[in-house]
Amino acid sequence: MIQQLCNFSRICFTNLGADMKDAPILWIVIPCYNEEDVLPVAGDMFLKKIISLEDNKLISEESKILFVNDGSSDTTWDLIKDLSGKDRHFKGISLSRNFGHQRALLAGLMEAMNRSDITISIDCDGQDDVDAMDEMIRRFAEGYDIVYGVRKKRDTDSFFKRFTAESFYRFMNGMGTEVVFNHADYRLISKRALEAFSDFKEVNLFLRGLIPLVGFKSATVFYDRKERMAGVSHYPLKKMCGLAFDGITSLSVKPIRYVTIFGFLIAFISFIGVMWAVIQALRGETVSGWASMTSIICFVSGCQMFSLGLIGEYVGKIYMESKKRPRYIISERIE
């Protein structure tokens, strides 16, 4: 009887060890910029979630929470160091200056790439539902390398916010940039997908458009987005428009193609105008028209300046890419 109990215990322990060994190592990557108000609450929330995932045998006990300090000017980095001293799950890296959300997120993903089986990127504000991670990991177990977190609806947003955000995604797709509708940067990426993504060397980053270019099998998980737990949003309309413009000019040449088509149409209309003016002159029916002439000149000049400005944006991006400057610099790590 004792021997049978020992054999049963040994089998249970072996199976448990096998389950924990097979469970993927997860790193949750969280970029932070001036998040001193929300970080204490968010830290507890992420810790509870990762412990829950470990208890349910969905991830390995070697899993970590990685905060990326993007050159914050407040006490964000001090709070990250305090969290790392309280629990083994917390890690942190600090960038030498403010490089921007996309580059901070990239720094965290590259830091986690060789030390994890899967990564989940999420913002620090607590708006994205952390419980969606369970379903993301299950979809990974089903064979999906990339799992996008997508908002079900925007009921909590104001009309203006909802209209501008949805217009942003439609406009991006219309301009030839492949993005997942209502998906921000809440996503799971497998190790092999992340290794493939590391070959993308762009300086001008728009991760929402770059990740789909990696390919591999992908899925979506829908969730309800909450109100921000504390602090203020770091993505006002101005930054959203800037992000859209960077994404379009970094991933698509459609705007230049549209400028070419538009220029052809203007030239065609101008040619018709010239023919009309010649015919009227031959018939002796010309009438002096300073206002109409001025309007035409101003219109054509405006189109030329807009076209040159757009082309200049592309030339500027080529210039920045050619310099091969580092996309981020890590000044400090917490192990």
State the pLDDT at residue 274. Answer: 63
- Please tell me the distance from the alpha carbon of residue 133 to that of residue 129, in angstroms, as a whole number: 8
State the pLDDT at residue 8. Answer: 37
- Tell the CATH topology of 16-252+328-334: Spore Coat Polysaccharide Biosynthesis Protein SpsA; Chain A (3.90.550)
- With 80 as the cut, is the pLDDT of residue 241 above it? no
- With 90 as the cut, is the pLDDT of residue 226 above it? no
Residue of 14, 26, 22, 114 lying closest to 62 (CA atoms): 26
**pLDDT, mean of residues 127-143:** 88
- With 60 as the cut, is the pLDDT of residue 26 above it? yes
- With 60 as the cut, is the pLDDT of residue 27 above it? yes
pLDDT range class, residue 252, cuts 50, 70, 90: low
- With 80 as the cut, is the pLDDT of residue 172 above it? no
State the pLDDT at residue 67. Answer: 93
State the pLDDT at residue 335. Answer: 74
pLDDT range class, residue 240, cuts 50, 70, 90: low
State the pLDDT at residue 298. Answer: 63
- The domain segmentation of the chain, as residue ranges, is 16-252+328-334, 255-323
State the pLDDT at residue 184. Answer: 77
* pTM more than 0.75: no
Reduced 3-state DSSP string for the chain: CHHHHHHHHHHHHHHHHHHHHHCCCEEEEEEECCCCCCHHHHHHHHHHHHHHHHHCCCCCCCCEEEEEECCCCCCHHHHHHHHHHHCCCEEEEEECCCCCHHHHHHHHHHHHHCCCCEEEECCCCCCCCCCHHHHHHHHHHCCCCEEEEEECCCCCCCHHHHHHHHHHHHHHHHCCCCCCCCEEEEEEEEHHHHHHHCCCCCCCCCHHHHHHHHCCCEEEEEECCCCCCCCCCCCCHHHHHHHHHHHHHHHCCHHHHHHHHHHHHHHHHHHHHHHHHHHHHHCCCCCCCHHHHHHHHHHHHHHHHHHHHHHHHHHHHHHHHHHCCCCCCEEEEEC
- With 60 as the cut, is the pLDDT of residue 230 above it? no
Q: Side by side, which strands form the sheet with 183-190?
A: 218-223, 146-151, 183-190, 118-121, 26-32, 64-69, 90-95, 330-334
State the pLDDT at residue 38. Answer: 86
The per-residue pLDDT of the chain, averaged, comes to: 76
**pLDDT, mean of residues 285-313:** 67
Residue of 145, 138, 242 lying closest to 193 (CA atoms): 145
- Please tell me the distance from the alpha carbon of residue 266 to that of residue 300, in angstroms, as a whole number: 8
- Please tell me the distance from the alpha carbon of residue 198 to that of residue 100, in angstroms, as a whole number: 18
